[in-house]
Structure 1
Amino acid sequence: MPVFLTHILMSDTPDQFPAEREDVDAQTVAIRTLNDQLRTTLTGGRVVMTQGVNALADDTLAKVLRTVNTFDDFTPNNDPYGTHEFGMFEVDDARVMFKIDAYDANLEYGSPNPGDPEVTRRVMTILLASEY
C-alpha cells in the first residue's frame, strides 16, 4: 500500500469513538438502537447461524447466544461508525462473530434508510471466524 494512501486512511479515522462524540447524529443513534434490540432480545429482525455454529455442542451454543445478547465490547476498531453491527469473541475455544445487516423490505438490497424499521429488515448472522 502506498505511504500516501495509508496516511489518508489513517487521517480519516475519528479521534474519538462515535458513541462518545458529541456530533453523533440521530440516524446513527437510531441504527444503533435497532441493532442493539436485535442483538440483545433477538427481536426486530432475523437471526441466522452458519452450519459451523449450529454444529457446536448445545451448551457451547447456549453460551454463544448469551454472549451475543450481552456483548458490549464495541470499540473504534470493531465499530468505527458507532452502530453496533459487528462483534467477535471466543467461547469454549471457538472464535465467533456476529454481523447485523440492514436490507430493504424485500431482503434484496441495502436498506434505503437503516434507521427506519418500516423500510428495513435486519438480519443478524452468527458465524465462526473460520467460516468467514
Structure 2
Amino acid sequence: MDDQNEIIRFLNDELRHDLTRGAAFMTPGVAALGPEVAERIFDTISLYDDFCQENDPHEEHDFGSFAVEGRTIFFKIDYFSKDMTVRSPDPSDPSVTKRIITIMLAEEY
C-alpha cells in the first residue's frame, strides 16, 4: 500500500467514526427501518472492521456490508470536489475533497 492509500484509508475511517467529517446519506429503505435501527446501523459502521480483499481491493476502507434486523446493509464512501460537481481530483487531499458516505439496503445498490 502506498502513502496516498494510507491517507485515504485514514480519512475514510475518520468519516466512519464521525459522520460530520463529510456528508452522510441514507436511502429511503434504511430510513424506513426507523430511528432505532438507523442508530444501530450508524454504530455498526463506526465500529466496522471487516475489510478484506473482496470488499476493499484498494485498501481504502470505502465499502462495507453487514446484516442488521435480517437485512443486508451496504455503506459506500465516494470522493467529490468541494463544490460537489465532479469527482475529487485527489481523494487523499481534504482541502479539495468532500467525502460522502451513502448507507443503503443491499437491494437499493
Q: Gaps spanning 5+ residues in structure 2: where?
A: none
1:77 to 51, 54, 67: 54
Name the structure 1 match of 2:8.
31
Q: Give the match for residue 125 of structure 1.
A: 102
| Bigger-Rg structure (1/2) | 1
Give structure 1 stretches of 5+ with no counterpart.
1-23
Letter in 1 for 2:34: A
Which of 101, 112, 121 aligns to 2:89? It is 112
Length-normalised TM-score, structure 1: 0.80
How many residues align structurally?
109
Partner in structure 2 of residue 94 of structure 1:
71
| Partner residue, 2:31 | 54
Q: Report the Cα offset of residue 57 of structure 1.
A: 2.6
CA distance in 2, matches of 1:33, 1:58: 28
Equivalent position SS for 1:101: strand
What is the aligned-residue RMSD (CA, Å)? 0.8
Residue in structure 2 matched with residue 15 of structure 1 by the alignment: none
How far, CA to CA, are the matches of 2:71 and 2:59 in structure 1? 26
Q: Any idea what SS the aligned residue of 2:9 has?
A: helix
1:58 CA drift (Å)? 2.5
Larger RCO, structures 1/2 (Cα 8 Å, 6+ apart): 2
**Identity %, equivalent residues:** 44
- 1:46, CA displacement in angstroms? 0.2
